[in-house]
Amino acid sequence: MRRKLISAAAVSAALFTAATATVAVAQDSTAPTDAPAARTEAAPGAPAERLIVGYKSGAAEAKSNKAADADAAAKGKEAGESLDFQRRLGTGAALVDLGEDLTKADVADVVAEYQADPQVAYVVPDRLNKPLATPNDTEYSKQWDLFETTAGMNVPGAWDVATGTGVTVAVIDTGYVAHSDLAANIVGGYDFISDATVGNDGNGRDSNPADPGDWTAANECASGDPAYGSSWHGTHVAGTIAAVTNNSKGVAGIAYGAKVSPLRVLGKCGGYDSDIIDAITWASGGTVSGVPANANVAKVINMSLGGGGTCSTATQNAINGAVNRGTTVVVAAGNSNANAANYSPASCNNVISVAAADRQGNRASYSNYGTVVDIAAPGGETATTANGILSTLNAGEQGPGAESYEYYQGTSMAAPHIAGLAALMKSANSALTPAQIESAIKTNSRALAGTCSGGCGAGLADATKTVQAVSGSGGSTGGTTFTSTSAVSIPDAGSAVESPITVSGVSGNAPSTLQVGVDITHTWRGDLVIDLVAPDGSTYRLKSASSSDSADNVITTYTVNASSEVANGTWKLRVQDTAAQDTGRINSWKLTF
């Protein structure tokens, strides 16, 4: 019998439901990154079946597959298990299979063997990720998310400057099912699903990213789980980004001059970190063993997927590699109405993490939130069908049927709005770096018309203002920036420390959208309270302590309404560690007026 991919606990809530439903994803919201569960589970309740092992650069196992295989066999012998080196990931890490029917205690024994090896930099489970959308048809007038004043992203004005021409966006998702309103903008991709059962197409990895459907029978993924029809999730995401426009049919894409490269990583019951890591690497121009060179390198990656647990070192390394190659990575914040800090890849650094807004400009009821969220974009609420996000789809319940259009809701729908915007920006100014793209999106955002409890980043993205800014025709690319790079240690459970910045040469008061960028290293950021102190001593709370925010580090940008404060003078970043056992430092911070 083939092993189950995930347990009942991992899929206890429906991933895809019609109309009024929302999404739950696998999570372990209270465990820190180094908790036993995080080290042993592919999803909560389900022991990991594979590990991702990163060796230090000088180790033989870092370069030699034979050495990595021998090391797996040796460590398996010590732990009393049969381990098998599977393949080398694009980041250089090794994927190790753990064999049959291991318990979490068995996995923990194997992990301990790797952790005890000084040549091992990290070892993490190959976790299962899920699409982040709740599905629920065909004219531009129905796409409120593009043009409505209240909560639309103000896209039409951006089209006067750019349409995405010359930019490829990689959609790392379920693949692509043929649709005449999208086909002209699809370029070659790849099927990265290495497990044939998950792939549901009769084989493992190949050059065909066609989506055969991800339907499941009752109990197929977990005991008690109902049957689900195919989601065609990747095709819906791709349509939001680059549906063909001005063709007298269907919907308009945000970056309709761009091309979409579909990369298939999600199938039956979800998809594994290891496949996603290779897709990130390959999409951005990196090398993946056994996969031909990418002829359609993407400058933007969209990942409308995720799972429980903070960002692993393995995933972070892949994202860092992509960003270093010049690719902007956009991710969904998640659909659990919870702190995004406890989800991956939403909690990873060097990404644009996107929360979802409803048609009234509130944080959508399902959307994750928190300090790791960078920006909000329309994600919809399908309790009223027309308030969802309309895009390309397919009517097949299992395999492909007739092409269609449907309203979906989710941060899965919000993320491609930002990926589309990033493509417009890159088309307008090809020299933009990922950091500049993120900064301009935040700087040119506007306040949500409604409310966002928990934090929605800099606000609601404004496509027109942002594209005008990066093209030099309006908006702001970020204004004048003042930076402190003097490191300040943060004492464990001690008094608050401060890092000063002296601002001069800025006339009048600070703006209502003062950008406060912080780079803080800390081994449990939930302990931290962070305040901005104005020259007159007024304080602005940036972050409160939270027992559930168990991830490392605070690397983000806050937006503060400091319009009542005189700009010139000495500003301070005040940080206090409120609990014991974890330490950190302020590496740098900056103010952008």
Question: What positions carry a catalytic annotation?
Answer: 173, 233, 412
Task: Say if CB 130 and CB 268 are below 8 A apart.
Answer: no
Q: Between helices 233-242 and 411-428, what is the axis angle to 10°?
A: 40
Task: Please give the Cα distance from 148 to 168 (Å, whole number).
Answer: 27
For residue 380, give the nearest of 189, 164, 135, 169 by alpha carbon.
Answer: 135
551 CB contacts (<8 Å, ≥6 apart)? 33, 310, 311, 341, 342, 347, 372, 525, 526
| Extended strands (E) in 265-372 | 271-272, 300-303, 305-308, 328-332, 343-344, 352-357
Task: Please give the Cα distance from 316 to 117 (Å, whole number).
Answer: 22
Residue 342's identity, in one-letter code, is N
H helix runs in 312-433, sequence order: 313-324, 411-428
* Neighbouring C-alpha atoms within 13 Å toward the C-beta of 399: 2
Task: Please give the Cα distance from 470 to 463 (Å, whole number).
Answer: 11
User: What is the H or E stretch that residue 37 is in?
Assistant: helix 36-40
Task: Please give the Cα distance from 204 to 141 (Å, whole number).
Answer: 41
| Extended strands (E) in 395-538 | 403-409, 481-484, 488-490, 497-503, 514-522, 528-533
User: What is the H or E stretch that residue 199 is in?
Assistant: helix 196-199
Give the dihedral sign, CA 516/148/359/20.
Answer: negative
**135 preceded by a cis bond (ω within 30 of 0):** no
Look-up: residue for tokens 């199938």? 267
User: What is the H or E stretch that residue 239 is in?
Assistant: helix 233-242
Task: Say if CB 304 and CB 132 are below 8 A apart.
Answer: yes
Task: Please give the Cα distance from 50 to 102 (Å, whole number).
Answer: 10
User: What is the H or E stretch that residue 261 is in?
Assistant: strand 259-264
User: What is the H or E stretch that residue 147 is in?
Assistant: helix 144-147
Which tokens belong to 73? 């066999």
507 class by beta-carbon count within 10 Å (0-12 exposed, 13-18 middle, 19+ buried): exposed
Contacts 24+ apart (CB under 8 A), 101-104: 101/3, 102/47, 102/48, 102/49, 103/47, 104/36, 104/37, 104/40, 104/41, 104/47
Task: Say if CB 253 and CB 420 are below 8 A apart.
Answer: yes
Would you tell me how many other CB atoms lie within 10 Å of the CB of residue 187? 15
